[in-house]
Structure formats: structure tokens, C-alpha cells
Chain A
Amino acid sequence: MGSALYTIRGLEHVYRDKPILRIDRLEIPSGSIVGVIGPNGSGKSTFLKLAGFVEKPTAGEIIYGGKPAVPFASEVRHKVSLMPQEPFLMKRTVLNNVAYGLKIRRDLSRLEQRVHIALDWVGLDAGEFSKRPSYALSGGEAQRVALAARLILKPEVLLLDEPTASIDALSAQLIKDAALKARSEWGTTLIIASHDWQWLYGVCDRVVHLVRGRLMGSGRENIIFGPWQPGENGLWEKVLSDGQRVVVQKPPEAISAAVIDHAAIVPADRLLPSGENQVRLSGLITRLALEKASGDIVGSVLVANIPFTTTLTEKEVVESGLYPGRRVHLLYDVRNVRWF
């Protein structure tokens, strides 16, 4: 990884008088893979549009390669490319869609051959697809054509917004492979927003967590949204759909979001450590994934309908016999709950 390609400072974006994104500071090194996770409506797509220089932020600046940059600026126009969640293809053939970026750059040498290579990268047979009109493609094929249209430009930065959402498994895998190949072959910086955090933790150098338009950290935080109601012993609580209670200390506001940084996982049949500040929730392990950057194992436990995330060591996983589908207890200390 190189020096900071992006330096984002005091970034704010407002839509119809409603603030939807605020990032005080963020640096993204050149050649890195950065994952962006967060719930729906958390500002992921807005962040990608701003970082992709498709939209201008309401306030703040995005410094790219050491210089402040805005949409249409020559420093970024031919270097940064965003693939939105619902890729749009023009009413043209696949060949003309993929070649569009090169044509507007007047870069016409070996055009057809380069289109064929780009299609090959995303697993589409050029002979079969290049003359096909865009309306005759399936969702997964259209997504792959959209990616090919960006890969042919060999971008310095490729921003992918939910690239594998609502497409078939084969297309999703081909898209993942092609994006990673771009990084390994040309050093393309990848910024990926996805709900597939298992994949993100597996490939990303860094994962950032966006919640309500704010950066939260690494994505391992558990965020429980209010409303909270007064419970026993001066504590407050949120009753989950299965009757379990998430207990916290008095929140700043009844609708505040609680952040539980760390929760321990203990198999349900083990004796639990006791403590007056300890809260116990019962759930099922749904996923265990290896985090590439740290070597930790990230586990997801579904409590009622809320997924909790926690970090485990290999030893903990082996010794406690943790695996997806196992019923476990989730333990946290009410004093360690932060407010957001």
C-alpha cells in the first residue's frame, strides 16, 4: 500500500435539508482495499458517490492525490470510476457500452480487442455477448458488463456499491474475482460497500462502519437503536422480539443508539461467569469469518432479529467448539456501552 490517495476532511452532505453524511477525517492509502459496511440508509451510497466524484459534497473537501478535487476535474475524471448498485447500461450493444469510456477519451486503438479482454475478465464470452443489445442481458450479465466497462479503463480507483447484491452466485464470484484482479494487476484502489461483510473482512485491508452517516470504526461494533425504556435497578432496556432484554445504563435520549464494542461468546451449555453488571443474551452463531488484516475470526450471533458481531481468536473458536448453528450466550458489561 502506498501513501494516502484520498484525504477526506470535514465532509458533509445534506439532502433536502437533512444531513445524511458527515465524516470528519478519513484517509485511504493508494492500492488498498477498503470495505464500507453499514445498515440500509447509513450513507454508504452517498459516500461512494462523493468519493467517486459523481456528486459534490455540501461542505468539506476530498483531497485526491494531494490536490483538492471535485466532479469533472481533470485530476479525477479519467482515474476514478464508480459502479453503482443498479448499474445502468445504455441502449446500445454490449460492445458499445464497454467501449464508451475509451471512445470519449479518443483512445480507439485495438478497441474491439480490448473490449473482448474486458469481457473475458468478467467471464463473458465476447463472441456471444459483444453484439448483443443491453436489454437482452440478465441482471448478473448486465452487472458484469457494467464492471467490464470500468475495467477496460484501468482506473486508479474503483468504487463498487453493493456489487454482488441481487445477482446470481456465479456472477457475484466473477465480479469479486475481476475486482481483485484489477487490484493485483494495476494496483487499483478498491472501495467496496457491501452487506457481504464475510467477503469484505476476507479481502479488505480496512473495513469502515457507517451508521447514520457517521463513521463508527471497524465494523465490529454492535449498534442497538432505541427507543429505550426504563427497566429495573435504574437501568434502561430494549425488549427484543423474542422477549429478551438488551440492558444499558441511562441513555442520553430515549432514541439514542447504544454501541456495544465487545461481547463475549460462551456456548449455551457452559457455566456463565456471574457479575452484577453482566448482561446475558441468548442467540445462534450465524457466521464465522477470517479477517484478513488481523488474522482474527469475526463471529456473528443472531439474537432475536439483531445480528451481533464479535471478535474471536482461533483458540477460542477451537476450545469452545464454536461453529455456525451453535446456540451460545452473548455476554457484555453494561458499563462498557457507549452512546452514539
Chain B
Amino acid sequence: MDFLIQGFLKAIELLFAGDAETFSAVSATLVVSAYSLLATLAIGLPLGFCLGYFDFRFKKQVRVVVDTLLSLPTVFIGLVVYAFFTNRGPLGEWGLLFTLPGIAVGLTILALPIVIALSATAVESMDRQLRVMLISLGANRRQLFLSTLWEARLPILAAALTAFGRVMTEVGIAMMVGGNIKWQTRTITTAIALETNKGEFAMGIALGLVLLLIAFGVNVSVSSLRKRY
């Protein structure tokens, strides 16, 4: 049990001493999480809205596919993204392999089904009268979309938080696509994996606690936003 206590003390030391390596990993984690979350919301929310809002042929089948993609293995995503970004791959010339944007692409693929499925469920569960009301008050299509999302803001916020939690704690994609390069693409999770392999459990636990602290901070911020709006 000593290494747990040591890990906790080490975490405080790392954060308050301003350890450069730790902050590099924290920064990389936040950057890839933010990039991927923004991309996921930009793509996933309209798709989730359409899936939940409109009735169309094969809607049920599309829903089954999206739900299935929720359990897409991260190493498989890492493998596919790696294959696309490697020099011999179709997108090799983009130079995204072993970069933070490269990791963000993989994480976006991971989080997209979460945002699509949960936002579709959120929109689907909205009262059908909302549409009638918005059109009756003069909303155009864009206003209809934005107002519906705003009315479903709490479950959509929950979807975004779920996606954020998933991308921030992901390790397979970050390891394969990012390469775990110190000072560059090393995220907190890949750093934990490395420290554990080295037998540095205390350091691994310390980094894990840092990750938890970040997650806690994000949740507290979102919770206060939820109360406000």
C-alpha cells in the first residue's frame, strides 16, 4: 500500500513543483482532448440531431451501426489511423503520424459514435411539440436546429462529458498514433503506461491522480454551468 500513499504525495509534488515533464504530458492530453472534442461536437451534433430528429429509410439500421461503433476497440482505431497516416498510407503525405493532431483524429473517431448516439437519443426524447412551437414562432431551419439543441442541452452536455472522459483517458490510440514521444506526443495515459512498465508505480499513480484532478475540475465547471443555465 505504500506506493499508493507515495503516489498521492508525488502527485501533489509534481503539480505544485511545476514538473516540466508532467506539465508537458498534461498539456498534450488537454490539447488532443480539446481538438478531438471540438471536432467530435462539430461533426457529431448535426449527425446526432439528424438521426434523432428525422424519420428516414434505414434509420433503425443506421442506429444499430452507430450503437455498434460505441464498442469499437481503441487499438483497432489506432491501427487503422496508423495505416492511413504512415508514409505508405493514403494520407501519409499529411505528416500526421506521431503528432498531436494525428492522435486527435484517432480520438475523434473514437468519440464520434458516443456523441452521435447520445445526442440522437437526447433529441429523440424531446417533446415533438417543440418543433411545432418553434416553427409557429417563426424559426427557420438553422434556428430550429440550434433551439432544439439548446433545449436538449443537459443530455447533450452529458454526451460531451462522456466523450471527453473517453478521449482523455484513452491510451491505445495515443500510444500507436502518437508514439509516446517525450515532450511532444506523450500524454498522461501513455506516460502512466510507460512508468508502470518501468516499475515506477508511484509515478504512474501520481500521473493517474493528475488525470483524475483534471476530470474533476472539468466536471465541477460543467456542473456550475448546468446550474446557471
Contacts and interface: CB of A to CB of B under 8 A. Distances in A.
Contacts, number: 56
Interface string A113-150: 00000000000000000000000000000000010011
B143 A49 contact: no
- Report, as a range, how many residues of chain B touch the other chain: 10 to 19
A49 B132 contact: yes
A100 B132 CA distance: 14
A77 B133 CA distance: 12
A53 interface: yes
B136 interface: yes
A105 interface: yes
Contact of A88 (B130, B138, B139, B141): B130
Contacts of A238: none
A84 B137 contact: no
A320 to B, nearest CB: 46
Nearest to B153: A91
A36 interface: no
A77 B138 contact: yes
Nearest to A49: B132
Nearest to B152: A91
B137 A149 contact: yes
B136 A54 contact: yes
B135 interface: yes
Interface string B134-153: 01111111010001000100
B134 to A, nearest CB: 8
Contact of B133 (A71, A88, A91, A105): A88
Contacts of B132: 49, 54, 82, 84, 88
A318 interface: no
A72 B137 contact: no
Given A86-B129, A88-B127, A90-B130, A101 B135 contact: no
Interface residues of B: mostly helix, strand, loop or mixed? helix
Contacts of B143: 104
Interface in A78-115: 78, 81-84, 86-91, 100-101, 104-105
Q: Which of A52, A86, A104 has the most CB of B within 10 A?
A: A104
A105 B138 contact: yes
A84 B133 CA distance: 8
A154 B131 CA distance: 21
Contact of A104 (B129, B131, B139): B139
Contacts of A77: 138, 140
Contacts of B127: 88
A101 B139 CA distance: 8
Interface string A156-193: 00000000000000000000000000000000000000
Contacts of B140: 72, 77, 104
A83 B136 contact: yes
A81 B137 contact: yes
A83 B133 CA distance: 7
A153 interface: yes
A91 B153 CA distance: 10
Given A84-B129, A87-B129, A90-B130, 19 more contacts: A49-B132, A54-B132, A54-B135, A71-B135, A78-B138, A81-B137, A82-B132, A82-B136, A83-B136, A84-B132, A84-B136, A88-B133, A90-B151, A91-B151, A101-B138, A104-B143, A104-B147, A146-B133, A150-B137
Interface of B: 127, 129-133, 135-141, 143, 147, 151
27 contacts: A49-B132, A52-B135, A52-B136, A54-B131, A54-B132, A72-B135, A72-B141, A77-B140, A78-B138, A81-B136, A81-B137, A82-B132, A84-B129, A84-B132, A84-B133, A86-B129, A88-B127, A90-B130, A90-B151, A100-B147, A101-B137, A104-B137, A104-B138, A104-B139, A104-B140, A153-B137, A153-B138
